[in-house]
Every structure is written in C-alpha cells, then in structure tokens.
Structure 1
Amino acid sequence: MTYCVALKLDRGLVMMSDTRTNAGLDNISTFRKMHVWEKPGERVLTLMTAGNLATTQAVISILDERMKAPEEREPSIFAAPSMFQVARIVADTLREVIGRQADSGQKADAAFNATVLLGGQIAGGPVRLFLIYPEGNFIEASDDTPFFQIGETKYGRPILVRAFERTMSFEAAVKLLVVSFDSTIKANLSVGMPLDVALYEEGSLSLGTPWRMEANDAYYRTISEGWGDALKQAFDRLPDMELPTSG
C-alpha cells in the first residue's frame, strides 16, 4: 500500500508521497514513488504512483526510454504540446503495461492495478493536475475537486476536507499534508516514512529540489506530537453526553 497526495493551490502544486512498499509484515522496503522530469523554462512534470510496484516501475522506465527516442517513433512526455497530451501518454502507457501483464490483455487485472497522479505545467499553458486510473482513463482537478489522493486515502482525507483552502501558502499546505500523512501512518502500517515532497510555483517552469522528510525530522515530530495534543485538548473541551436516566 502507499499514500500520495497532490494539492492544486492558487499558487501552484504541493505534492507528497510515502516510500513504503511491502509484501507481508516481514518484507518491508523503501521505494521512491515520486518522479520528476524538468526542462527549466519549458516544462515541469511530477508523477506519483500507487499500486503494483512492477507495474509502476515499468511505466516509469518506458516513459524514460521514450523521452530518448525520436518523436515520430514513440510518444514522449517531453515532446507533448500540452499537459492534457502528457496525461494521455501516461494513461496509454499505464494501460499498455497492465494489459501486457494481465491474462486477458484487455482490462486492468486487480493483481497489476496502479494509479497515477500527474501534475505540472508546460510553457504557454496553465498548471494542471490529473488522476489517472488503471484502465487508462483520467480526470482533472477543478475548483470543485482541488486535490487528489491515491493509495490508502481514508485515514488522511478528513483533515484535507476540513482544512484545505486553495489560497493557503505552501508552508501551510505542507503542514496540512504532514498532519494527513501522520494520521495515515499511525492508522496503517503499510504506509510509512520517509516522505518525498515537491513544490511547484505556477509560472516558474522550474521545480527546484524536491526533498525527503525522514522519520526523525524535527518538524515532522513537532507537528505529529502537537496534532495529537491538540486533538486531546479539543476532545476534552467538547461537552460530555448526558445519558438518559433509567426508570
């Protein structure tokens, strides 16, 4: 299992992913699930994956290889003229990999399922964010749906729904995601540290350096402990229920 979130703010994109993969409680590994491609001044693309590791690694490898191939031979995310076309290439590649591995070759077999979050900007176009499904179809973030989650989404979603605002700063957005991830990590052992973080400022066409937040990160510990204390205090301030009396 995994957990990845992408927020589409007025200012740009904030993306975070965990790094834990497991095939049982005694076989836990760390793999990067966030992948970045950049042509400074021309395009920035960030992709996060959840699902079957063999499937997602194959998708990333194919996208990398096709960027090195002549444009007329293979579709390349570095040659696509818009983010929509990049999303189509990623979706087609995902469907291709799953179809090749699945017995039927026609639809996404659950054993090989994977989902993808794709965000970025190409010069001349706006920042766009897509959620790509294993069948190869996809949807785009909008004012009504300004963030996407993939993987183990249920534990971290309530804080996002309650606290997310499109106008929030990058600093506040990272804090929000740390709370969301901390809630998920505490509830599900299949999601774990370290966390990869990427910020993209709209119009910059340069990503900067994504960073990794380790389990011993001082800021992460401060937010984790502070959030737990704040929840307890809020709970204690709520009125107790008046139970009905018998007889």
Structure 2
Amino acid sequence: MTYCVGMQLNNGLIFMSDTRTNAGVDNISTFRKMFTFEAPGERCITLMTAGNLATTQAVISMLEERTKAPDNRSPSILEAPSMFQVARLIGDTLREVIARNADAGQRADSTFNATVLVGGQIKGSPPRMFLIYPEGNFIEASDDTPFFQIGETKYGRPILVRAYDPDMSWEAAVKLLLVSFDSTIKANLSVGLPLDLQIYTTDSYQRGLSKRITAEDASFRSITDGWGDALKAAFDSLPEISL
C-alpha cells in the first residue's frame, strides 16, 4: 500500500509520500514514489504514484524515455504546453500500460491498476494539480478541493480536513502532513518511513526543498510524540459521560 498527499497553498504546492511497498507481511521493500521533471526557469512538474509497482514503474520509465527522445506520437511532458495537457499525457500513458499488461494474460485489470497525483507549474500559467485515475481520466484541485490523497487515505484525512488553511506557512504545512502521515503509519503497517517531502514555490519554476524524512529525524519524532500527547490530553479534557 501507499500514502501520498499533494496540497495546493496560496504560496505554492507541497508533496509528501511514503516509500513502503509490500507483497505480504514477509515481503516489504522501499521504493521511491515521488518523481520530478523540470526545466529550470520554464517548468517544474512533480508526480506521485500509488498502486501496482510494476505499472507505476513502467509509466515513469516511459515518461522519462519520452523526455529524452520525444516524437509526435509520444510527446514529452517537458514539451506539453499546459498542466492540463501534462495530465492528459500521463493519463494516456497510464491507460496504455494498464491495457498492455491486462491483455498479456487473463483479463484482470484491477491487478495492474495505479493512480497518479501530478502537480506543478508551466511558465505563463498558475500552479495546478491533478488526480489521475487508472482509466486515464482526471480531476483538478480547486479552492473547494485543495488537496488530494492517493493510496491509504482514510486514516490521515481527518486532520487535513480540520486543519488545512490555504494561507498556512510551509512550516505549518509540513507539520500538518507529518501528523497525517503519523496517523496513517500507526494505523496501517503497509505505509511506512522514510517519507519524501518536496516543496514548490509559485513562479520559481524549479523544485524547492526536497528532503527524505527517516525515523531518526528529530522533527518527525517530536511531531509523533507531541501529537500522541496532545490527543491524550484532549481526550482527558472532554466532559464525563453519565451512564
């Protein structure tokens, strides 16, 4: 399983993903799920993936190959004129990979399913973020839906819904994401450290802070300990129930 979050803020975009993959409790590995394509000064595009690992790796590999040798039939996301066209290109690639694998043997599309979260900015347009489904179609983040989650979403969602603020600082946004991931990690063994973090500042056209957060990270340890203590204190402060 996977957990990835992308948030749209007034000062840019922020992304966080875990790195755990598993094919059973005795087959757990670490794989990067966040990938960035950039032409500094002109565009910066970040993808996060969830789902079948072979499918997501094939999609990323095809996108990377097309940046090196684009053609009219398979354009590069470094050449697409808008983030909408980037999302459409990724959706077409994802659908192509899933269809190819499904047709190779027995029909079992769900086995090869994957979801992609993509966000970034191309010069001349504002930052945009999209959630791309296995069928290749997609939706865009908005003021009403300012963040997307993929993978194991339910445990980390409540804190995002309650605490998200489009005007929050990068520091506050990172803290919010760490709490969301801590809640998910504690509830589901298929999501785990290390975490990958990336920040994109509007109109910078290049990746900002890019960091891997491990179990030894002092900030993560302080957040997970502090959040546990705060929850316990909040619970204890609730009024007594009469039975």
Q: TM-score range by the shorter chain?
A: over 0.9
Q: Tell me the amino acid that sits aligned with residue 155 of structure 1.
A: Y
> In structure 2, how many angstroms separate the alpha carbons of the residues matched to 1:129 and 1:94?
17
Secondary structure, counterpart of 2:135 in structure 1: coil
Q: Tell me the amino acid that sits aligned with residue 178 of structure 1.
A: L
2:72 equivalent in structure 1: 72
Q: Tell me the amino acid that sits aligned with residue 89 of structure 2.
A: I
1:39 equivalent in structure 2: 39
Query: What is the CA-CA distance between 1:73 and the residue it aligns to?
Result: 4.5
Asked if 1 retains the 8 angstrom alpha-carbon contact of 2:200 and 2:209, the reply is no
2:230 equivalent in structure 1: 230
2:61 equivalent in structure 1: 61
Give the RMSD, CA atoms, in angstroms. 1.4
Higher mean Cα deviation, 74-83 or 175-184?
74-83
Task: Give the ranges of 4+ consecutive aligned residues of structure 1 lying more than 3 Å apart after TM superposition.
Answer: none
> In structure 1, how many angstroms separate the alpha carbons of the residues matched to 2:123 and 2:143?
22
Asked if 2 retains the 8 angstrom alpha-carbon contact of 1:71 and 1:79, the reply is no
> In structure 2, how many angstroms separate the alpha carbons of the residues matched to 1:97 and 1:84?
20
> In structure 2, how many angstroms separate the alpha carbons of the residues matched to 1:58 and 1:41?
28
2:173 equivalent in structure 1: 173
> In structure 2, how many angstroms separate the alpha carbons of the residues matched to 1:171 and 1:227?
16
Query: What is the CA-CA distance between 1:39 and the residue it aligns to?
Result: 0.7
After TM superposition, the structure 1 = structure 2 runs for residues 131-150 of structure 1, keeping only pairs within 5 Å, are 131-150=131-150
Asked if 2 retains the 8 angstrom alpha-carbon contact of 1:95 and 1:108, the reply is no
Query: What is the CA-CA distance between 1:28 and the residue it aligns to?
Result: 0.4
> In structure 2, how many angstroms separate the alpha carbons of the residues matched to 1:52 and 1:141?
24
**1:206–1:194 CA distance, 2 compared to 1 (3 A):** same
Asked if 2 retains the 8 angstrom alpha-carbon contact of 1:108 and 1:135, the reply is no
> In structure 2, how many angstroms separate the alpha carbons of the residues matched to 1:75 and 1:123?
18
Asked if 2 retains the 8 angstrom alpha-carbon contact of 1:198 and 1:209, the reply is yes
Percent identity, aligned pairs only, is 72
After TM superposition, the structure 1 = structure 2 runs for residues 77-88 of structure 1, keeping only pairs within 5 Å, are 77-88=77-88
Query: What is the CA-CA distance between 1:104 and the residue it aligns to?
Result: 8.6
> In structure 2, how many angstroms separate the alpha carbons of the residues matched to 1:167 and 1:120?
18
Q: Tell me the amino acid that sits aligned with residue 186 of structure 1.
A: K
**1:108–1:177 CA distance, 2 compared to 1 (3 A):** farther
1:93 equivalent in structure 2: 93
Query: What is the CA-CA distance between 1:209 and the residue it aligns to?
Result: 4.6
**1:60–1:169 CA distance, 2 compared to 1 (3 A):** same
> In structure 2, how many angstroms separate the alpha carbons of the residues matched to 1:70 and 1:145?
33
Asked if 2 retains the 8 angstrom alpha-carbon contact of 1:108 and 1:134, the reply is no
Deviations 1:187-242 (A, max 9, x none): 00000000000000001111135110001111000000000000000000000111
TM-score normalized by structure 1? 0.95
> In structure 1, how many angstroms separate the alpha carbons of the residues matched to 2:81 and 2:5?
26
2:115 equivalent in structure 1: 115
> In structure 1, how many angstroms separate the alpha carbons of the residues matched to 2:152 and 2:7?
16
> In structure 2, how many angstroms separate the alpha carbons of the residues matched to 1:124 and 1:71?
24
> In structure 1, how many angstroms separate the alpha carbons of the residues matched to 2:143 and 2:164?
12
Query: What is the CA-CA distance between 1:72 and the residue it aligns to?
Result: 2.6
Q: Tell me the amino acid that sits aligned with residue 232 of structure 1.
A: K
Deviations 1:114-156 (A, max 9, x none): 0000000000011000000000000000010000000000000
> In structure 2, how many angstroms separate the alpha carbons of the residues matched to 1:65 and 1:239?
60
Q: Where do 5+ consecutive residues of structure 1 fail to align?
A: none
Query: What is the CA-CA distance between 1:85 and the residue it aligns to?
Result: 0.4
Q: Tell me the amino acid that sits aligned with residue 201 of structure 2.
A: E
1:157 aligns with 2:157: yes
> In structure 2, how many angstroms separate the alpha carbons of the residues matched to 1:152 and 1:74?
32
